[in-house]
Amino acid sequence: MQVTILGGGGFLGRRLAARLAADAAVGGQRITGLTLFDLHQPAPLEAPFPVRCLAGDVADASVLAQAIPPGTGLVVHLAAVVSAAAEADYDLGIRVNIAGTQALIDVCRKLVSDDRRAEGPEGLNRPPGQRPPRVVFTSSVASFDGGQAAMVPDEARQLPTNSYGAQKAIGELLLADATRRGFLDVVSIRLPTVMVRPGRPNRAASSFVSAVLREPLLGLPAQYPVAEDFRVWVCSPRRAVDWLAHAAGMDTAKLGRDRGINPPGLSASIAEMLAALEEVAGPQARALARHVPDAEVEAIVAGWPAAFAATRAPGLGFVRSEPLTEILRAFIADDLEATRRDREAG
């Protein structure tokens, strides 16, 4: 099976690619080739199958068609303009987050022959290799509202409080309808805020969630823009990759028409994160983090729901989040040294 990762040069795309290289298979099918596609050309990857690295604009259907060749059985769609950037540049968010997703649908649809398309959802029951391509789409908790008071049930409506969340909810609707029509076979994962991210702060409004733990672990000061009782729905990079890989291979017949998954993340307050930091790295690390209010960031994240019921996903095989201290220890094991080296290199 041919696999393509859109956003394959990014943080999660890179880790998922490494996971696929290690597994060499998805859902019991051997991977015969992988395309990593991103705005900037992704770095080469060692794998037991050929890996192509392509640069291009996800909203350009002719470029995208090269990234998703005939025979593609799986596309993981991670390419997105993130929250604060989509809020700052409306047109860019619309183009990448909506037109990019529509372009993906149009490419997948052309991969499926007219005969097979006419089968509609029935085509999803065909044997592997004859099915419409599986698409794993990263949606977001930002597509829901409710804020700090929320305990979002699986059947909650999406009433987004920001453009990024609206564009993700729209992507889910487009892909679910394309699935119903037999163009593709989507699983949409509403990812929690992923932490601890390595690297530097980025334009995601949630950037502080990682920074408040990562920077002190590097011995550096960190700021958090919200109060200590502020709760965030989070998951580790390891779990995010577990969920994406599971969605790539799972039996979608169990999903029915509802293709949106709220995975079993963790509701964590800033205070709980700082307590875990102190437990793992000592009081001197904890002391490096302090509260500096930022109204602009707070305005965006205040609308994001603090907790989800996530009752459906475990029964579908999505594993639960680790506790905070385990997430921190995994960051130390997986990323701390590389992050430190990057910083020292400038």
Reported as type and span, the H/E element at residue 250 is: none
Cβ nearer to a copy of itself, comparing 159 with 333:
159
Residues composing the chain: 346
Collapsing DSSP to helix, strand or coil, 112 comes out as coil
Identify whether the C-beta of residue 75 lies closer than 8 Å to the C-beta of residue 188. Answer: no
Beta strands across the sheet bearing 33-38: 51-55, 33-38, 2-6, 72-77, 134-140, 185-191, 260-261
Cβ nearer to a copy of itself, comparing 35 with 161:
161
**What's 148's DSSP letter?**
G
Query: In the complex, what is the shortest distance from the CB of residue 190 to a copy of itself, in angstroms, rounded to a whole number?
Result: 13
Cβ nearer to a copy of itself, comparing 167 with 267:
167
Cβ nearer to a copy of itself, comparing 116 with 181:
181
Query: In the complex, what is the shortest distance from the CB of residue 257 to a copy of itself, in angstroms, rounded to a whole number?
Result: 6
Cβ nearer to a copy of itself, comparing 140 with 167:
167
DSSP calls for 224-237:
ESS-TT-EEEEE-H
Query: In the complex, what is the shortest distance from the CB of residue 317 to a copy of itself, in angstroms, rounded to a whole number?
Result: 22
Query: In the complex, what is the shortest distance from the CB of residue 22 to a copy of itself, in angstroms, rounded to a whole number?
Result: 36
Cα 174 to Cα 151: distance, rounded to the nearest angstrom? 26
State the sign of the Cα–Cα–Cα–Cα dihedral 249, 252, 254, 260: positive
Q: In the numeric block, which tokens belong to residue 302?
A: 């205040």
Query: In the complex, what is the shortest distance from the CB of residue 189 to a copy of itself, in angstroms, rounded to a whole number?
Result: 17
Q: In 3-state terms, the chain is what percent helix, strand and coil (to 5)?
A: 45, 20, 35
Q: In the numeric block, which tokens belong to residue 144?
A: 């829901």
Query: Interface residues with a copy of itself (CB under 8 A)?
Result: 90, 94, 102, 145, 155-163, 166-167, 169-170, 173-174, 176-177, 180-181, 257-258
Q: Is 164 a catalytic residue?
A: yes
Considering the candidates 137, 164, 243, 304, report the single residue annotated as catalytic.
164
Q: Which residues are catalytic?
A: 164
